[in-house]
Amino acid sequence: MNLKCKHSCEKCRYEVSFALLLIIVSSPYVLSVRFESSTHASKNTFLKGSPPNNITDLVVPFGYPLEQHVLTTEDGYVLTLYRIPSSGTHKSGNNPAGNKPAVLLSHGLLDSCACFLLLGPGRALAFMLADQGFDVWLGNARGSTHSRNHTRLNTSSPLFWAFSFDEMAKYDLPAQLDKIVEVTGHTQVSFVGHSQGTTVLLAALASQPHLNDKIKMAILMAPVVFTQKISSIPFLTLASLGTDQIFTMMGVNEFLPSDKVVALLEGSLCYMQPALCLNILSAIAGFSQDNVDPDRLPSYLKYTPAGTSVQNIAHWSQAVRQALPRTLYSFDYGSDCRVMRDGVTMCNWVRYGRPDPPAYDLGAVRSPIMLVTGGRDRLSDAVEVEYLRESLAAGVVFQELHIERYEHLDFTWGRDVADTVYRQVLEVLFQQT
């Protein structure tokens, strides 16, 4: 197969897979009016402005310093950590120079560290932390826009995409913590995560108890651990139809890569049907109609979705389909060891030495935790947040903040999230420093 043909086939696979996703999410539920074109999503408003192109463009023009740190995990993935070491020309906050506590921000599924920057100075969490004297570190999960390298594999290899949040917990988070400790000299790091970022932390602390000593405290926004009561129709449909298996059979190993999706969205869908585009974004995870600035949506689309692996989506689909509630399992490779995946025999017996995947022992988590939840969150159900609280050891959850009107993405996109959530987060971080 020549190079031109190869690229054509790859483009076709992505277009077909994206079309399939649109069919799935374009259900009557999604098409019910959530955003009116004339009010919130006119063509001119949706496509207004020229969004920034990279993380540097989101930080440096506002007078903040930015460092890029590259680290390599034990299994060879090359990840990017961004650091805002100070507030630059802005106020120094309450922490004197040279004594800045380190905070790691961890993004959710299909997102990147940009989610903590896109609201801009004074409103985005990363800037607010820097202004108050924190040493801010922004993580990027393997396979997302800013962490797509490997020491041996390239992104065209199916083996590059053979990961889920298991590997993020086993390799990515420990490597990020080690890098922060190495650079700053601190022995402990505070953690703020959103969505899948909270899952990765809990899985890491549960499976590697020594990591609890490195986490000073953790603030979990819209935590997602148990998923049997989620009410996101597109997500439930993805799981029930086995869409992850369809993608795999099509030879698609990467799920919603940012550059290809943005090209499709900006080129057609969001221009011709902006309300539909917003409905799709809202239906998958959810954000409040009146709490999102439509002028910022071009920037949100520029950075989201940031991509992940089909295997990671498969892991979440397994979690939705699993029979036992209140349990977070490792990825299920199946019990048939005759099946080969990309030329490698992989099954639960080979991977785990047992016929079924092991569960994470959340009772092993010792780091102090604050839970921040929303009453209208379709992915972080209130009942399952209660299950999470009960699964953790007594006293681990030391504080909670509940915003009844908040949906899943309001915690990163909300107009009022700075006053409603982030200021309380800052207060808690100060109390623990």
What's the CA gap between 151 and 217, in Å, rounded? 32
* Strand bridging mode 189-194 / 102-106: parallel
What percentage of the chain has pLDDT greater than the value 70? 74
The answer to whether the beta carbons of residues 378 and 408 sit under 8 Å apart is yes
The closest of 261, 195, 224 to 21, measured between CA atoms, is: 261
DSSP 69: E
Tell me which of 254 and 133 has the higher pLDDT: 133
Tell me which of 97 and 342 has the higher pLDDT: 342
Catalytic residue list contains 172? no
Tell me which of 340 and 57 has the higher pLDDT: 57
Tell me which of 411 and 433 has the higher pLDDT: 411
The closest of 207, 221, 248 to 111, measured between CA atoms, is: 221
pTM of the model: 0.86
pLDDT for the residue numbered 276: 59
Helix (H, G, I), strand (E, B) or coil at 51: coil
pLDDT for the residue numbered 341: 66
User: Of 86, 195, 282, 330, which one is the catalytic site residue?
Assistant: 195
What distance separates the 2 farthest-apart alpha carbons in the chain? 61
Q: Is 102 exposed, middle or buried (0-12, 13-18, 19+ CB in 10 A)?
A: buried
Q: What is the band of 200 on the pLDDT scale with cuts at 50, 70, 90?
A: very high
pLDDT for the residue numbered 84: 98
pLDDT for the residue numbered 137: 99
The closest of 190, 140, 165, 111 to 411, measured between CA atoms, is: 111
Q: Which residues contact 186 (CB under 8 A, 6 or more apart)?
A: 101, 102, 180
Burial pattern 119-151, b for ≥16 Cβ within 10 A else e, equals bebebbbbbbbbbbbbbbbbbbbbbbbbbbbbe
Selecting from 3.40.50.1820, 3.40.50.720, 2.40.30.30, 2.40.110.10, what CATH number does the domain 3-432 have?
Answer: 3.40.50.1820
Catalytic residue list contains 342? no
pLDDT for the residue numbered 293: 80
Conformational region of residue 303, where left means phi above 0, alpha means psi within -120 to 50, and beta covers everything else: alpha
User: Of 111, 131, 135, 377, which one is the catalytic site residue?
Assistant: 377
Question: What's the pLDDT tens digit per position in 112-161?
Answer: 999 999 999 999 999 999 999 999 999 999 999 899 999 999 999 999 99
Catalytic residue list contains 92? no
What's the CA gap between 412 and 221, in Å, rounded? 9
Q: Which residues contact 201 (CB under 8 A, 6 or more apart)?
A: 106, 169, 173, 191, 193, 215, 218, 220
pLDDT for the residue numbered 169: 99
Per mean pLDDT, which range of 76-90, 112-126, 235-249 is the poorest? 235-249
What's the CA gap between 220 and 105, in Å, rounded? 10
What's the CA gap between 149 and 419, in Å, rounded? 37
Give the phi and the psi of residue 104 in degrees, each rounded to 5: -100, 125
Helix (H, G, I), strand (E, B) or coil at 341: strand
Query: The tokens of 96 are what?
Result: 């004197």
Per mean pLDDT, which range of 15-19, 184-188, 289-293 is the poorest? 15-19
pLDDT for the residue numbered 267: 46
pLDDT for the residue numbered 299: 77
What percentage of the chain has pLDDT greater than the value 90? 59
